[in-house]
Chain A
Amino acid sequence: MSPNMFYLLASILFSIGLIGLVSRKNLFVLYMSIELMLSSVSLILATLSKVLGNADGSVMGLLIIGIIAAEAAVFLAMIVNLYRAKRTLDSDAFNSLREGAFND
Chain B
Amino acid sequence: MLEVSIFAILALFMLGGSIAMITSKQTVFSAFGFLVTMIGLGGMFALLNSQFLAIAQIMVSVGAVVILSMLTILTVNAKEENLPKEPHKYKWIMFSILLVTPFTILLYKTLIILPDHFSTIGTINAKVVGKLLFSEWVLPFEILSILLLSAMVGAIVIARKKRKRPGKKERRA
- Assess the A69–B60 pair: CB atoms within 8 A: yes
Q: Which of A13-48 contact B (CB under 8 A)?
A: 13-20, 22-26, 28-29, 31-33, 35-36, 39, 42-44, 46-48
Residues on the A chain within 8 Å of B93, using CB: 19, 23
Total chain A interface residues with beta-carbon distance under 8 A: 77
Does A5 reach chain B (CB closer than 8 Å)? Answer: yes
Q: A18-B100, A39-B41, A68-B65 are in contact. Are A73 and B22 (CB under 8 A)?
A: no
- Assess the B118–A3 pair: CB atoms within 8 A: yes
Q: Which residue of A lies closest to B57 (CB)?
A: A65
- Assess the B119–A50 pair: CB atoms within 8 A: yes
- In the assembled complex, the CB of B2 is this many whole angstroms from the nearest CB of chain A, namely 9
Residues on the B chain within 8 Å of A71, using CB: 151
Q: Which of B74-126 contact A (CB under 8 A)?
A: 75-76, 78, 82-86, 89, 92-93, 95-97, 99-101, 103-104, 107-108, 111-112, 114-121, 124
Does B173 reach chain A (CB closer than 8 Å)? Answer: no
Q: Which DSSP category, helix, strand, loop or mixed, fits chain A's interface?
A: helix
Q: A50-B119, A59-B133, A65-B61 are in contact. Are A12 and B15 (CB under 8 A)?
A: yes
Q: Which residue of B lies closest to A89 (CB)?
A: B78
* CA of A43 to CA of B15, assembled, Å: 14
Residues on the A chain within 8 Å of B133, using CB: 59, 62
Q: Which of A44-69 contact B (CB under 8 A)?
A: 44, 46-56, 58-63, 65-69
Which among B38, B107, B137 is the interface contact of A39 at CB below 8 angstroms? B38
Q: Which of A69-99 contact B (CB under 8 A)?
A: 69-74, 76-81, 83-84, 87-92
- Assess the A19–B65 pair: CB atoms within 8 A: no
- In the assembled complex, the CB of B170 is this many whole angstroms from the nearest CB of chain A, namely 25
Name 8 A/B residue pairs within 8 A (Cβ), A-sorted.
A3-B117, A5-B7, A29-B21, A53-B120, A58-B53, A60-B137, A66-B60, A77-B154
Q: Would you list the 5 A-B pairs with minimal beta carbon distance, nearest first?
A: A20-B22, A90-B84, A53-B119, A70-B151, A77-B159
